Amino acid sequence: MLYTLAFILGGIWGSFCNVCIYRLPLEKNIIKGRSLCTSCEKQINWYDNIPLLSFIFLKGKCRCGKSKISLQYFIVELLSAISFVLIYYFYGVSITTLLLVILTIFFIIIFFIDLKHYIIPNELTFPLMLIGFIKSFDPNLNQSLFPNYINSLIGGLFGYSIIWLIIFFYKTLRKKEGMGLGDAKLIAVVGFWFGWFSIPFTIFISSLVALIFSIPSLIKKTKDMSTQIPFGPYIIIGCIIYISFANQIKNLFL
């Protein structure tokens, strides 16, 4: 029963993620106003806005104009629902679960916004930094996953500084922009949430995953080493891998 509830709640929050993914880059209010069809701009009825089910019943098409609904909407809702279930499975009913659910919602929104628009809004990273630091003052949290406030502060500053330095030296040497400050802020989020030790691992894994995904394009010469890519999604993947194996990683190196 609780797993079903977690799945339903995940789908609902996934629907909200879709609203944010669409509206934030356009600087629209994410709370006010009913959802509109992006093609015909008619208001979407509540029964056509049920997470996951509406997409299936409508067969991925708008009811009014029969225009295609982006598969991204379904993927985001499903991803959110599955994430909620997995988090509950590993951490049960706890503060850790609540915190990871919040992080998941923000990460999903950041992932898809950066993937499409190559931006990471401050409205997402700044609250995450604040939450990550404030939670570190609670001594009853999962100590194997979350750091104390000193480690959290060092992690946030270290994460931001190392990416800022990469940006600075790249721009100095190549006379053009490399990574964006949005990536630096996102790495700072990882540091505030999981401490300084998570930073080298997350950067290494995210860079490795980015390289793996870029290799086919480099071989086909559709992209080169100077082609801009959204690095935020890879940072998120690296962070998720760290969270999944945090204890093993710490035991291996500490």
Q: Among 187, 168, 178, 171, which residue's Cα sits nearest to residue 228?
A: 178
Instruction: Provide the pLDDT for residue 200.
Output: 93
Instruction: Provide the pLDDT for residue 222.
Output: 67
- Cα–chain center distance at 231: 11
For residue 107, the one-letter residue type is F
Instruction: Provide the pLDDT for residue 100.
Output: 96
Instruction: Provide the pLDDT for residue 58.
Output: 78
- 0.85 exceeded by pTM: yes
Nearest-angstrom CA–CA distance, 240 and 243:
5
Per-domain residue ranges of the chain = 137-254
- pLDDT tens string for the chain (254 positions)? 889 999 999 999 999 999 999 999 988 888 776 676 666 667 777 676 788 888 888 777 777 666 787 899 999 999 999 999 999 999 999 999 999 999 999 999 999 999 999 999 999 999 999 999 999 999 888 888 999 999 999 999 999 999 999 888 888 887 777 677 899 999 999 999 999 999 999 999 999 999 898 887 777 766 665 667 889 999 999 999 999 988 787 777 66
Instruction: Provide the pLDDT for residue 40.
Output: 64
Whether 120 contacts 185, CB under 8 Å = yes
Q: Which residue is listed with tokens 């406030």?
A: 149
Residues 29-50 pLDDT 10s: 887 766 766 666 677 776 767 8
Angle at 228 between CA 191 and CA 132, to 5 degrees: 15
DSSP string of 8-50? HHHHHHHHHHHHHHHHGGGT--SSSS--B-TTT-PBPPGGG--
Write out the two tokens for 73: 């909407």
Instruction: Provide the pLDDT for residue 234.
Output: 96
β-pair partners for 61: 68
